[in-house]
A and B are shown apart, each in its own frame.
Chain A
């Protein structure tokens, strides 16, 4: 048999009622056997739960504490250095693009297969004796002539030996 006051009995057990409400329910408990039995049984259940036979394990407790202090300290440094995955991916991509850009700017790196550089006339042509290199160009005003080397690029040679 359930009494309508039983919900308030639970609140009384937990001390969640005001003083006036507590007095009211206590007066009712004195008169209602159902509520009185319920109140007693609720208190017994509390005692059983509080007396639950929990076995303390000091060794496990110490081991857990050491684990936490060890793992916790390692994680602090990792957290300081760690980056979010999207940021890390962007950094890798940026480094890759910078690398490609740097390599592409290196002189002649991509010119390897485009052709050879030729100098005309060749420096080994013994019929011509070039003048020593000088920065005095006033002799050209007097009509003097000199040999100028022309440097031009040749087209790459294909497998048939044709340019």
Chain B
């Protein structure tokens, strides 16, 4: 029993930050990402770490996390639309200082806003590929779709993201300077 706890703790410390990062990009909320990450790893603990081969554990946990996130996104879809509209109405009434803070926050979350514009399937596939460096076959196992769909989702996601990014750069040259600085 103690050995199980030690093994689980080791797996937890390895997977928890990666799950949180993936879920935060997928959902756009760090608190929600932490909740779902905890729930996914709790299910792994209840299932039993010794019941899975070690190399399968990561895919099992990401599959559970992705399914929980999918349920959460469906549930909150309407709420998020309303909140976005409200934020848009409130923006012209904010002071300069608040506006600067908001712009800084927007820049930091620019990537998330660009990712958010992608359909959920494309966003999930792209994040699993770029952040977790999973192969197309592994992504297909986690998401429960065919490899061909994963290929198409990743290509379309990248294309759409690229177009949105170019649009943002055209509309906001400061962002272009920032990205240019980071690239150099």
> Chain A: residues with CB nearer than 8 A to chain B?
6-7, 10-11, 13-14, 16, 38, 41-42, 44-57, 60-61, 64-65, 67-69, 71-72, 75-76, 79
> Chain B: residues with CB nearer than 8 A to chain A?
5, 8-9, 12-13, 16-17, 20-21, 24-25, 30, 34, 37-38, 41-42, 45-46, 108, 111-112, 115, 126-127, 129-131, 135-136, 151, 154-155, 158-159, 161-162, 165, 179, 182-183
Q: Which residue of B lies closest to A16 (CB)?
A: B136
Residue pairs across A and B with CB atoms within 8 Å: the count is: 90
Of A54, A56, A68, the residue contacting B38 (CB under 8 A) is A68
**How far is A46 from B110 in the complex, measured between Cα atoms in Å?**
15
Chain B residues, CB < 8 A from A69: 5, 8-9, 45
Can you list 8 contacts pairing A with B, beta carbon distance less than 8 Å? A16-B151, A42-B158, A48-B111, A52-B112, A54-B21, A55-B30, A64-B37, A65-B13
**How far is A50 from B131 in the complex, measured between Cα atoms in Å?**
6
**How far is A47 from B130 in the complex, measured between Cα atoms in Å?**
8
Chain B residues, CB < 8 A from A47: 183
Chain A residues, CB < 8 A from B182: 51
Of A16, A38, A64, the residue contacting B16 (CB under 8 A) is A64
**CB pair A10 B30 closer than 8 Å:** no
**With A11-B151, A65-B12: A46-B130 Cβ-Cβ less than 8 Å:** yes
